[in-house]
Structure 1
Amino acid sequence: MIEVYTDGAAAGDPGPSAAGVFIKNGKDHREFSFTLGEMSNHEAEFWAVIRALEVCQKYFPDEILSFRSDSKIVVETIEKNYTKNSNFISLLEKINQLQSGFPYVFFKWIPEKQNGKADALARTALKK
C-alpha cells in the first residue's frame, strides 16, 4: 500500500497557491511540489489530491493508495462524494475520475502536525 500525504497552501484567499505531495512506498520516499495559480486554500487542498493522483497514475498505477490530508473539508467531501460548494464540484468529479483507475483508494484525515512533509513541500513551491 502506498501512503500519500497531500497539502495545499495559498498566500491570500484567493491568492497564489501551491501543492505538496509526499509519497511513502516502504522505504522509498518521493516528494513533489506544484504551483497552482490563483485560488483559495481549500481549492489548493483539492488540487493537491488531484496532482497526487496524477503522480500515482505515472509511478504506481496498479497500487492501493492510502491518502492522508489535514483538510477535513477535502476528506469529508471525498468520503461523502458530495458538496454544495459550486467551486468544489468539478474538483470532486476530477478526483473521482482519477481514483477510478486504481484498485482501492482510501482517504484519512490526519492532524496538521502529522502532515509536515507535504506542508513543507507546498510552502516551498509557494515561495517560488
Structure 2
Amino acid sequence: MIRAYANVGQCFETFKLYSFMRKTNTFVNNCTYPFVFKACALNLLVREGKVVHGDSLKNWFGSDLYVAASLVDMYAKCDLFVGCHKIFDKMFKNDLVCWTAMITAYEQAEKPEEALILFKKMQQEEGLLAASKDNL
C-alpha cells in the first residue's frame, strides 16, 4: 500500500500509513523506506523525512544501498545537499544506483560542474573508464 500511495503522489496517505505501521510495531523493511522517502520528497516533508531516516538507522537499514540512495534523493529534492552528500560519503559501497542518485541530485539542482566531476569520479572508482577505453 505504501508503494501504491507513493507512486500516485498520495504523500500524506503514505506517511500516515507508515506512522500507523510504526505505532502498531508492524515490520518495516528496506522496500518500505524508499517509498516513504519518495513521499516525503514529493511534498518537501523534511521533518518527517528526518524522522523516517532515524527509524531506518534504528532498524539497521542505514547501510542498505537502496535505502541510502532514496535518502540521497529525498535530501536533494528538499535542497539539503549537506545531508545528501553526507549520506553518499558514508555509504559502505556505492553502486550504480547510489552514484546515479547523487549525480541526478546535482543535475536537478542545476549544478552541472559538480555532476560532471562526480560522474568522472564514478568512472574512475568503478573502473568504467578503463573498461570503456578497452572497448574502443
TM-score by length of 2: 0.32
Higher strand proportion (structure 1 or 2): 1
- Structure 1 or 2, whichever has the larger Rg, is 2
Identify the structure with bigger relative contact order (alpha carbons < 8 Å, sequence gap 6+).
1
Higher helix proportion (structure 1 or 2): 2
